[in-house]
Structure 1
Amino acid sequence: MTDQTSRPSITAVILAGGKARRMGGQDKGLVELAGRPLIEHVIARIKPQVSRILINANRNTEQYARYGYPVVSDSLSDFQGPLAGFLAAMQQVESDFIVTIPCDGPCLPDDLINRLYNAQQAAQAEIAVAHDGNRMQPVYALISTRLQQSLNEFLASGERKIDWWYARHNTVTADFSDAPETFLNINTLEERDRFQPIGHNSPSC
């Protein structure tokens, strides 16, 4: 496992800025699973892997701030999607890279960042994106903060598709085909109920 002190600075960005339409409008990061808000499961998994965490949220910012990490809202209005969260984070951090992860994915592996970083280093890429063996998982990504201007221009042009922005840059995929559970996410209350563990205080990943 790569020592944090030997790699460029990385900030983990937890994306909690969506509308969560399929969750009945509830704030997904604050929906409880196994007695704790989803975001707490994500924080517990990512905290040992980085020295910096930032939360991207567009509502309930005071509740998110209670976790002790900076909370930033999109600089673009009306919930413009994950790329708007990427940009908001880049505008705030001083790290060389950000790693983006969704607030509704409680099964992060303990080597998520190392795998993304190793893939990025091997290709000297600007972006490393997780791949589950079948398809790319675009919101699980390591992204150079030097791409802030490019992303700002892309969004200013009216574009919102992550894949299209990635295609403009030197992007490599990181193989997670042996850990597809990494990308289990909870989009509805029904999914949350099916994922609810019995007799445990953490989800079964």
Structure 2
Amino acid sequence: MIATAEITGVVLAGGRGQRMGGEDKGWVELARRPLIEHVLARLRPQVGALVISANRHLSRYRGFGVPVVEDGTPGFPGPLAGAYAAMRVATTPWLLLAPVDTPWLPLDLCQRLAQVAAQADIVVVHDGERLQPLTALVRTSLEADLARWLESGAGRVLDFYQRHRWCQVDFADRRASFANLNTPQERERAERSLGVEAMSRERGER
């Protein structure tokens, strides 16, 4: 199994945030903390290094003391442009990709993906209902091919993955951990849910 020191965690924070009213989702708050802070906290104990890939508010992101890379491609070209930017600066053989709007990622995410990494170039989460292609381990040796793929204007993330050896890991037991916050309504529901949990814990302690 690959070691923690061989993995750079990459928070993909470069989207348009259209369904969030154009907000930079990394700075949308949940439980009084921005989503970027939640995701960094989840990834930090699982990887040897961290990178934030963004194309807005770069100086604010640097305030977390983590390297920030800009994909440098105009027009918000998609999440793999962010992965490519991270590949260019990473010094490890693997990236662990994670979207900025997934604040509940499992703390054993990297361990479970790494168990099968020797068999593949890309290891993707399956949450029991669907693939989560932006939560994945990816070899940095794919940098050159990813550059060609991006230059060609090719589309879906899975189309790129299918050019290489890839596999999936079943996280059906942790499906809720991959829920993402795409809209203000989803964020509000998450806040209400957290409030109910906090009240239940408080009552249990009395």
Question: Do these two structures clear the TM 0.5 threshold for a shared fold by scoring above it?
Answer: yes
In structure 1, what is the equivalent of residue 80 of structure 2? 83
Preserved contact between residue 4 and residue 47 of structure 2 (Cα < 8 Å): no
Report deviation, 1:28: 0.3
Q: Percent identity among equivalent residues?
A: 45
Q: Is 2:46 the counterpart of 1:49?
A: yes
Q: Secondary structure at the match of 2:98?
A: strand
More helix by share: 2
Indicate the residue corresponding to 1:143 in structure 2: 138
Match for 1:191: what amino acid? E
- 1:162-201 CA-to-partner distances (Å, cap 9, x unmatched) read 0100000000101111110121000111110110021778
Asked if 1:174 is matched to 2:186, the reply is no
1:113 aligns with 2:113: no
- Deviations along 1:98-144, one digit per CA (max 9) or x if unpaired, are 010011101111100011111213xx210100011222110001000
1-structure distance, mates of 2:90, 2:179: 28
Indicate if the aligned counterparts of 1:130 and 1:173 stay in contact, CA closer than 8 A: yes
Aligned match for 1:190, one of 179, 185, 193: 185
Matched, 1:162 2:157: yes
Question: Does the residue aligned with 1:43 lie in a helix, a strand or coil?
Answer: helix
Q: In 2, Cα distance between the equivalents of 1:96 and 1:84?
A: 18
Equivalenced residues, count: 196
Judged with a 3 Å threshold, the aligned counterparts in structure 2 of structure 1 residues 171 and 8 are, in CA distance, closer, same or farther, namely farther
Counterpart in the other structure of 1:11: 8
1:64 aligns with 2:90: no
Structure exhibiting the larger radius of gyration computed from Cα positions: 2
CA distance in 1, matches of 2:117, 2:165: 10
Letter paired with 1:148? E
Aligned partners of 2:5 and 2:49 also within 8 Å: no
Residue 75 (structure 1) shift:
2.7
Unaligned runs of 5+ in 1: none
Q: Could you tell me the TM-score, scaled by structure 2's length?
A: 0.91
**2:25 is equivalent to residue 35 of structure 1:** no
